[in-house]
Structure 1
Amino acid sequence: MSGWLNGKRARIEGECPAIASALAAQGASLVDVGDCDIWVHIAPPPPIKLAHELTHAEWRASLDAGLDRRFLGAKDFAGQCRARGTGGAILFVGAPEQALGADQAAAVGALGNLTKTLGVEWARDGIRVNSVLTRDAGDTLGNLAAYLVSDYAAYVTGAVMGIDLDD
């Protein structure tokens, strides 16, 4: 089964070569600007610090990167989809909440609730919202991402999934 994403335009914010490769292998055109059908946001992991060592500015920066920017980007993408009268797919990718400290845990915990809420709210507009939480950046992640943004996952929205490849 190939060509799941033929004719789709995807914008990836952040770095994950496995996701970019999987989307392209399934036929998506990767775009940097302009209209797109798929928006993938990959948050860079913050430096790991113990909770009692975090400054307020570091706490806010983690929440901004891990939650605020994602919400604002998703809101802009959804507005573009509505203006075109088409649906779309949003995928958030990041580390699991227990992986990187209290600030990351707060952002990822909130992201899980945001994913579920937007998934329900925007389903009526044909916009799907899902999250994958993992430290893996390999082919498994790329293939799951390609599936979640494809029409094969047309009824999957509001899902928060994890990939754990540790032995």
Structure 2
Amino acid sequence: MSCPALIDFEASCLPEYGQSYPIEVALARIDGSSRTWLIRPSPKWRFWDWSEEAEALHGISREMLAREGLPPEQVLAELAEVAGDCQVYADADLDAYWLEVLAGAVGAPVPFPVRYLGELLVERGYTRPQVVAALAEAKARLPREHVARDDASRLALTVRLLLDGDLP
């Protein structure tokens, strides 16, 4: 089973610091596969905000984006292809917002809805102690935070642990 998939974005700044844009996105399936993209800033975001605090958290600089980032059109197309027919979930509504910002930069519709992960967990009937235990186990295995691939992979692992009933 490879679905559902979990998405996570990193952004140019924290929302309290201004108008942010997506700079990295990762999609992780519960089978353990994942893909990540650095996003070259769109010219439309030229006057949007950047914060050193966010850069310190995710470790992605403007220079890195200019050098290694892919065009937003390419990222959006590849992201949609990798998501395929999976339902996509996130642990924060900001991820849906940044997908909208990415799609808006290229004048394209959002390729898939981003659902809130809590909805899936409630639908499946998991208890709070089960979710807390799965999150703790996933964090023990993937402790690095504020890196899109690791954050998405940790969420996907959490779901996989719950589905498999594979908790200590």
TM bracket (short chain): under 0.3
Q: What TM-score do the two structures reach when normalised by structure 1?
A: 0.25
Q: What TM-score do the two structures reach when normalised by structure 2?
A: 0.25
